[in-house]
A and B are shown apart, each in its own frame.
Chain A
Amino acid sequence: MRVWKFGDNIDTDAIIPGRFLTIYDEKELAKHAFEGTRDDFAALVKDGDVIVACRNFGCGSSREHAPLALKGAGVRVILAKSFARIFFRNAINVGLLPLVSPDTDLMKDGSPIVVREREGKIVVGGREYSVEPVPEFMYHIVEAAGLVGYAKELKEAPVCTKSRR
């Protein structure tokens, strides 16, 4: 499992260009992940590889094709200094784990990486870093393989007008 290192403001057009948006199958989308931006990714990415980026990962459009393409490529965890809001939600909703770490500058492309998210730890190239804790409900969604699994169990939405919690 290795690090795929990216910089600031990696946008959804870079993750999956607009011309592939008629595709919805994650494996098919994965073939075009980062096409034109980083062509070796789709060819070489392996199950369990981790994307490590800097600020504002996933900015731009609301296309869920972006996290789906990465999931289809076998990515399970994305580590960044910060995420764009819609991408962050979409990632969780499709069952990817977006983790926030201030130290991604120190992590190098190609380094071996182990993620122990429950302990809030990652090990990159032998060095240990801590990541910001993930809210518990996020795990529920990720573990239900996304929002779909969670929603299946629900009879009606627990809206704020009804519950006081």
Chain B
Amino acid sequence: MGATITEKIFSSKCRREIRAGSVVMVPVDGAMIHDITGPLAIQKFYEMGGKQVFDRKRIIMLFDHQVPADSIEAAMNHVYMRKFAAEQDIHNYDVCEGVCHQIVMEKGHAAPGEIIVGADSHTCMYGAAGAFGTGIGSTDMGFVLKFGALYFRVPESIRAQVSGTFRHRVGAKDLILSIAADIGADGATYKAIEFAGPTIEALDMPGRMTCCNMAIEMGAKTGIIAPDDVTWEYMTKRRAGTRPFPLASDPDATYAEQRSYDVNRLEPQVATPHNVDQGVPVGTVAGTHIDQVFIGSCTNGRFEDFAEAAEVLGTRKFSANVRVIIIPSSREEYLKTLRAGLIERFVAAGALVGAPSCGPCMGGAFGLLAPGEVSLSTSNRNFRGRQGSTEAEVYLCSPATAAASAISGEITDPREV
């Protein structure tokens, strides 16, 4: 009987055959902590009697949610983590590199076949690199910091088979919003979502990251894509000594469910308040008034996303009635966008461009919404209160739809501007 890619990763770690449903204590290849969940994880590490972390080189530490510190408490958390990094001799990316998941990917901290845990739910994004990435809480992370291992229930997989070619100004974000609407907010709880098929194979790394990033929005433990030439090319550039090896689900692997999607007729999608699985074709909500547009986050804050937005913008200006906030997800993505001249175009068009961070995505730092306000965002969550007031509304969409809407001041089909 064949195995899924997830079962293969766990089997190879345990050096014996492991099937979905087994509960195993597995060594992890990497552990990521940031400024929100890190302090508590460190505290738990100490409470568990921790003195020295399991392997200082396998810990990825950075600050992204509240940077530069937006409150005295945030500044104190940063100080606490810096002290820990110094004490344990852990490299700390600190406030200047960008959003955690983007950093893990671009610095080559996640590779095919590895198991990476992060004290952040969107850790599932590393599946784009063929790694098993999953989000854990701070106490679990305290355990990992001490022991370098964690209990896992090996998940069953849902295979999402995607075929077809995207139409003009339709892409990965529209696909994943439509998949979320289909599977539902808890349709993949405890499971892995394996994205496959010709459309996925044709996606570039940023597009794959967008898809895997949002697996958690269906309750999944991870999203994963079997490594191929695209993955290996990305990895070779980012981790010295990378050697490709075969890693994919067997044709006769057992799945909890198989679903097929055809993108040939897919329309730009918008997730309506207050759940990610409430996606509709953009036409359904076209004309909805918006107060703020956010283009950024670990879901859609890469150069390719800004290029897509800039292409829609052309030589126009953003609406004077909309606050347009653009935040690259990392220093590297910022530089690429800057060198291509896009930052200048956005600023000239009326946008506010911020330094790499989570920005308004989590609603903890800046860019918050007042009661009654409406935001259109390229991030991954539109829960009530996610970006400020519980009486505000958040819609989610692609960078193209965000740009088109920012020009007109209302939700707009990017194919109509």
Contact with A along B186-197 (1 / 0, CB 8 A): 100110000000
A44 at the interface (CB under 8 A from B): no
9 sampled A-B residue pairs with Cβ under 8 A: A11-B383, A19-B363, A36-B389, A64-B137, A67-B137, A85-B189, A147-B140, A152-B47, A161-B13
CB within 8 A of B137: which of A90, A151, A156, A161? Answer: A90
Distance between A153 CB and nearest chain B CB, rounded to angstroms: 9
B275 at the interface (CB under 8 A from A): yes
CB pair A18–B364 under 8 Å, yes or no, is yes
Query: Which residues of B lie under 8 Å from residue A82 when comparing CB positions?
Result: 186, 189
Secondary structure call for the A interface: loop
Mark out the residues of chain A between 133 and 161 whose CB falls within 8 Å of any chain B CB in the assembled complex. Answer: 146-148, 151-152, 154, 156-161
Which A residue sits closest to B146, measured CB to CB? A151
CA distance A50 to B337 in the complex (A): 51
Task: Assess A152 versus B137: contact at CB under 8 Å? Given A85-B189, A161-B14.
Answer: no
Give chain B's interface residues, CB within 8 Å of chain A. Answer: 13-16, 18, 24-27, 36-37, 39-40, 43-44, 47-49, 65-66, 71, 73-74, 76-77, 119-121, 123, 135-140, 142-143, 146-150, 185-186, 189-190, 219, 221, 275, 362-364, 368, 381, 383-386, 389-391
CA distance A82 to B188 in the complex (A): 12
CB pair B136–A84 under 8 Å, yes or no, is no
CB within 8 A of A157: which of B121, B148, B362, B383? Answer: B148
CB within 8 A of B139: which of A21, A22, A94, A154? Answer: A94
CB within 8 A of B48: which of A13, A17, A85, A151? Answer: A151
CB pair B381–A60 under 8 Å, yes or no, is yes
Secondary structure call for the B interface: loop
Among A152, A159, A164, max chain B CB count under 10 A is at A159
Which A residue sits closest to B44, measured CB to CB? A148
Mark out the residues of chain A between 83 and 105 whose CB falls within 8 Å of any chain B CB in the assembled complex. Answer: 83-86, 89-90, 93-94
Task: Assess A152 versus B147: contact at CB under 8 Å? Given A60-B381, A63-B36, A64-B138.
Answer: no
Query: Which residues of A lie under 8 Å from residue B189 when comparing CB positions?
Result: 56, 82-85
**A-B contact number at CB 8 A:** 153
A111 at the interface (CB under 8 A from B): no
CB pair B13–A160 under 8 Å, yes or no, is yes
A108 at the interface (CB under 8 A from B): no
Query: Which residues of B lie under 8 Å from residue A130 when comparing CB positions?
Result: none
CA distance A65 to B219 in the complex (A): 19
Distance between B289 CB and nearest chain A CB, rounded to angstroms: 22
CB pair B363–A13 under 8 Å, yes or no, is yes
Query: Which residues of A lie under 8 Å from residue B47 when comparing CB positions?
Result: 148, 152
Task: Assess A161 versus B73: contact at CB under 8 Å? Given A62-B119, A85-B221, A151-B48.
Answer: no
Distance between A160 CB and nearest chain B CB, rounded to angstroms: 4
CB within 8 A of A62: which of B14, B49, B65, B121? Answer: B121
Distance between B387 CB and nearest chain A CB, rounded to angstroms: 9
CA distance A67 to B137 in the complex (A): 10
CA distance A19 to B136 in the complex (A): 20
Query: Which residues of B lie under 8 Å from residue A19 when comparing CB positions?
Result: 363-364, 368
CB within 8 A of B149: which of A36, A84, A159? Answer: A159
Distance between B390 CB and nearest chain A CB, rounded to angstroms: 4
Task: Assess A64 versus B37: contact at CB under 8 Å? Given A13-B386, A19-B364, A22-B71.
Answer: yes
CB pair B142–A148 under 8 Å, yes or no, is yes
Query: Which residues of A lie under 8 Å from residue B119 when comparing CB positions?
Result: 62
CA distance A39 to B292 in the complex (A): 27
Task: Assess A62 versus B186: contact at CB under 8 Å? Given A22-B73, A85-B219.
Answer: no
Which A residue sits closest to B389, measured CB to CB? A36
Among A24, A62, A67, max chain B CB count under 10 A is at A62
CB pair A64–B40 under 8 Å, yes or no, is yes
CB pair A90–B139 under 8 Å, yes or no, is yes
A43 at the interface (CB under 8 A from B): no
Query: Which residues of B lie under 8 Å from residue A21 when comparing CB positions?
Result: 36, 65, 364
Distance between B172 CB and nearest chain A CB, rounded to angstroms: 22
Among A18, A60, A63, max chain B CB count under 10 A is at A18
Distance between B157 CB and nearest chain A CB, rounded to angstroms: 14
